[in-house]
Each structure stands twice: as structure tokens, then as C-alpha cells.
Amino acid sequence: MLKFFSRVERTRNLIIIGFAFIMAASLVLFYAPGRNSSVAAPASNNEVLATVNGEDVTVGDLQTLKDSYMQMFGGQISLAQLGGDKRFLDGLIRDRVIAQEAARLGLAASDGEVADKIRKEFRDQSGKFVGFDRYKQSVVSRYGSVERFERQIRDQIAAEKLQAFVTAGVNVSETEVQDDYKRKNTGFNIVYVPVTADKLAAKIQPSDDELRAFFEQHKTEYRIEVPQKKVRYLYIDQVKAGEKLQISDADLRTEFDKLAPDKKQAGVRVQQIVFKIARPDLDEQVRQKAMTLMTQLRGTAAGPVSEEAFATAAKGNSEDAATAQNGGYLPAPVKRDLNKANPLYDRMLDMQEGEMSDVVKNGNNYYILRRGASVPKTFEDAKPELLASQRNSRAYSIAAQLASRAEARLKETKDYTKVAQELAAEANMNPADMVKETPYIKPGDDVPNIGSNQKFEEAIAPLENPNDVGVRTGVRGGFAIPMLLDKREPRIPEFEEVKDKVAQGLKQERAKQQLEQKAAELAGSAATAADLKTAAEKLGLEAKTEDGYKLGSPLGEAGTSPAADDAIFNLKEGELTKTPVRIGDNFVVIGATKRTEADLAEFAKQRQQLLEGALSARRNQVFDDYITSLQARLQREGKIKINKDVLAKVSEDEPSAAPPRRPQFPINVK
């Protein structure tokens, strides 16, 4: 049972993402014409990325999927954050597997079902179909062709049928759901003591003789496998090089004139009507009031709402006095902040002037919003950004030029001090600050002031002899020109070279040996939860407390685990875990100073919703396992083939981070 509910938690995000994907698709306005309509579009690249049982997945399919995600997140997330092409391709392959399995079982969608779904789900504000022209225009611009979009709808219907077929016998008992509710809603005030190797290690102070003996026993573990190089480098600070730059208003104005029109907007004006929810029991009443006003403002037309009409309604109805008296207008234009999204007002940026939102709930208020005119950005508004941009770009150019000159002079003179003195004035730096030196380093090391820098490693890689000078290379904050001082071949180092690492290794080894024993000693020395803090202090450990703790939450740096959850849930008030709980490599002793049982009356109120949610989650997990197993079999049989050359070509500029898996079918989330 517990395993099932842990899977419920893992499945929840997939369901939410699936629902978000459906809502993104629902933004496309169309109806279902015949299956023979076709229009060429940029997303119609038919180069084959993969085949599934002989059926092709194309580059166009991949691009359409990525575009859908970008539309779904409204530009607030980059493709780098969504993940690499390989993971998106995995989702498309999974789609094909589902569609083919549905067809094999006679569950494919008919033309009538496709048309019916399209007509029901996509209508204008009056409830009528939007018309073929708007359908074609929207679908082609987003999906490349009518056929591609309709195939997605067809596959979604088939997936729904297949899921219903596979999970028809799945069920979940009320006892399971109630037990899970109890676990999630029982609260604890706890006191806990993490017993970690790091904390024990900090108290261990080995002697030099002990360290040397440990080194002799483990010296091969400290062997340096690659050459080490000691490097002196001349550093050009980009910021300092640009501090003396004088950039005229004329230059900035020229850059301002080059800006694209959308970059010359300071935002958009927004009007709002606010309905406040005084008490939770009035929520529906307030919503109905807002819906009635929205319907009145729209009237029978589906077009824009005039500024005057909305302003009059705001003055007479809005419960936000600050904006109501100004016709509902917010005091400042709304503009997109990529660092901090505003879900309530950001939607206005994607609407047309005069367009009005539906009723939107945010916090304890309902809102009706209207997009006003765009506000142009003046030169003075844009000047600080332009100045920073120009100073940064010109500073980079100046620093790069100085670094090139420094490289040439160093190769001539081999004298860092002399070259630093020659260029210090132009670099706006003290000569002594320009000359820096590294310890003996190897690839992958964290170099002081530079960090782990692949380009710097590449610059020093060819340097084999003392006084060899490398090429200028970009480093943190500027440029570096390295020169080799000394090189050490792979070897077992002397004790003094790795003394700190040896000490760390010995301390950790001893700490791990003491870990469980120390935790058991702690648990045995406290009779009740109230005694735990005192017992911990006697052993040099730190007790921590947390009120209102719920299972699944991390215990500070100790983390959490199913074993910890089970141990805490079984504690009565005043009890502690007499057997230390292992979490990862560490142990924790936990006591419950207070236990608040879950409110079963509240469970009764939510019973139907909780049962439906648990059943939906279990069905989704069963279906997910079914498709995963099927896909694995097809891969073993060689029926899924990926064109790695094509994938590599389209993925040249893509990151490798994993995005959330694309939903394979729409789920009827209520």
C-alpha cells in the first residue's frame, strides 16, 4: 500500500504536466474538416529521426513538440530548461508505441470521433465553431500542417481508449486511501538529532604519526594520474578595462534607434475590476457576481471591450479603491520580468489591445482584466540598459585587444612584470594585481580565482616546457595569458603535498566506524523525547526541533526516507526511536513531543475527491508501467530505431538536461 502511494506522489507531476499540455493545445482555435486538407509550413521537415515498427518520427514532429512547450509556458521558460532533443524524441516514440498498441487492439479513433472531439472542445465565445479559415491558419502556424495536428488529436483519443481498456480492472480501497490520508495529515512536533560522519569527523584530531601511517597504507589512492602544471598568468579585468569608457548620448541614441519595435515598449496599460472574497463561504457568490459583470461587458459581441465601458464598470463595481477611481487602470504599465513571473498580469502581454480576460481567481480575489494600449519606451527609459550593454560589449572588446597585445609581448619578453607595467594604465589596473600564479594543477581542478575552466585547461595543455606562453583565454571576469613555470609527471605524491586530503580521509573513515555506535549510544541514553536534547549535548551533538512536521518533509540536513516516515508515524507522544534510523549514509534519532491525529471528519468531506484522485493515480501508474514494458520489448526486438546522425545534427545547440516527460495523452482532470 505504501509503495502505491509513493507512486501516487511521483505520478502527480506527470498528471499536472499532462493537463497543462492539454490547456496549451486548447489555445488553438479550429474545427475538424476532412482529412485531406494540407498546407505547407516550417514545421513540415520530414527528415526521419526515428522509426517505430516501421512508422517514422520526423524532425518536424520534434520541432512541433518543442514549439508546443514554448507556447504552453508563454515564453517564461527556455528550451534549455525544458531539456534536450533526445528526451523530447523519447516522448514522441512513446506516443507512437501507444497509438500502435491501440490500433492493434482495435481501439483506434474513427474520423467521426476526431471530428466530434474537435468540434466540442474548440468553440468561440458564443459557443459556435470558429470556422475553417481560422482553424487552418492557427493549426498550420503552430503545427506545420492540418494532418499533423489532427494526428495528435487522433492519437489522444486512441490513448484514452487504450488506457481505459488496460486499467478497467484497477481499483483502490477506501481503507488504503484513508490510511494514506492519516499519514499525510497527522502532525508532529518533533525533536531530532542527526548523527553524521562530517560532524563526528570534525571532532577527530589525528596526530601526524597517525596521518603518516594512514598515508602509507593508502598511498596508491592518492596517486596523481596525469601531469600537474604550475602556471603564472597575466590577468586583464574586463570590468576595470571598461570603467574609463566614455559613451556619448549620440552613440546610445544610435543604438536605441536600432532596437526592434518590441524592445521599445515599456509595457502595456492594464485595467482591472477586483471582487474581494470576504469569507471562504462567499467564494461562489463572488465568482457569480464577477461572471455576470463579465458577460455584461462582453455583450453579444466577441470583439474588444472599449476603455470607457470598462472604466465605467470599474468605478461602479471594483472593490479595489486605488484603481477603481482611475477607471481600473494599474498605476504602472505591466511588463514581463523573466526573473519573476506574475501569473495574474503577465497574461495581458499576450493579448490584443481591448481584449478582456475571463474571470480570474488570484489569492482571495476575483479579477476581470482588460489589455490597454502599449506604452512606448522613451530614450531616457532605455538609456540605463543601453549604457550597461554598450559598456559591457565595448569593455569586452578593449580587454580582448589588451589580452592579444599582452600575449604577443609575453611571447617576446617572457617577462610578466614588464608586460604588466606596460599595459597597466590602459587596463586600469595595478601591475601587481595583473600577475597571478596557480598551484600545481591538473585538468578538472578548481583553480583559485578561475574555478574549473575548460578553456583555461585547453590553453595550458600544449605548454610542455618552462616559459612556454599560451594563447589568451576567457576566464571569470576577463582574460588570462598563461605561461608554464613547472611540470610534474604522474606520480605518488609526497605526504606533505596531500596532507590535508589524508587528514580528511582518515577522519571520515574513523567517523563512519563510529557512526552507528554513536547513534545507538544516543538513543539508549534518552528515556523520552524530552530527554533527547540533553542527551545529545552530552555527546557533543546538536538536537533540532520542528513543529507541525508532516511525513515526507526533510528533517533539515538529515533529509528523509520511507524508513524515517514509518518510524515517526509509529511514535506516540513522548516516545523516541530507540533504534536509530538510517537516512543515506547517516543516522538520526527522533522523538515526538506532540502528536496531532488527522481529522477524519475532514476526510469524510473530501472522501469522494480523494478516492477519485487515488484511483486516477493508480490507473495512470498501471498504464505507465504497461507502456514502459511494451516499449522496452520493442527496443529489445530492434523495432525502435533512432537515426543518431540526424538527432546529432538537430541537437548541436541543445542542452542535455532532462525535461519533464511529455504527456502521452490527455487525462480528464476535474
Per-residue pLDDT tens over the stretch 196-246: 888 888 888 999 999 999 999 998 898 888 899 999 999 999 888 877 777
Confidence of residue 279 (pLDDT cuts 50, 70, 90): confident
Q: Return d(Cα 70, Cα 328) in angstroms, integer.
A: 31
- pLDDT, residue 594, reads 94
Q: Please say if the pLDDT value at position 421 is more than 50.
A: yes
Residues 6+ apart with CB under 8 A from 58: 45, 46, 47, 48, 49
Nearest to 267 by CA among 331, 328, 336, 352: 336
Q: Which residue from 117, 93, 103, 180 is spatially nearest to 668, judged by alpha carbons?
A: 117
The span from the CA of 569 to the CA of 186, in Å, is 8
Look at residue 36 and tell me whether its pLDDT is greater than 70.
Answer: no
The DSSP 8-state label assigned to residue 580 in this structure reads P
H or E, element range at 227: none
Q: Find out whether 11 and 661 touch, Cβ atoms under 8 Å.
A: no
For 282, other C-beta atoms within 10 Å of its C-beta total 12
Q: In what order do the strands lie in the sheet with 48-52?
A: 55-58, 48-52, 640-642
Nine cell digits for residue 334 = 505591466
CB hemisphere CA count around 279 (13 angstroms):
2
More confident residue, 637 or 6: 637
Sheet holding 473-475, edge to edge: 435-437, 228-237, 478-488, 473-475
Written as one letter, the residue type at 633 is R
Q: Residues 139-180: pLDDT tens digits?
A: 777 666 778 788 888 888 999 999 999 999 999 999 999 999
Dig out the grid coordinates for 123 from the structure.
Answer: 468553440
24-38, 71-85, 527-541, 582-596: least confident range? 24-38
Predicted confidence band of residue 70 (pLDDT cuts 50, 70, 90):
low
pLDDT in tens, 551-580: 988 888 888 899 999 999 999 999 999 999
Degrees to nearest 5, angle at CA 561 with 523 and 14: 165
Cell of 372: 490597454
Supply the pLDDT for residue 200.
84
Laid out side by side, the sheet with 581-583 consists of 544-549, 187-195, 586-596, 581-583
Cα distances (angstroms) measured from residue 658 to each of 51, 71, 87, 124, 583 = 22, 19, 6, 37, 26
Report how far residue 221's alpha carbon sits from residue 502's, in angstroms, rounded to the nearest whole number.
10
Map 170-181 to HEC letters: CCCCHHHHHHHH
Residue 154 has, within 13 A of its CA and on its CB side, a CA count of 17
Run of H or E residues at 656? none
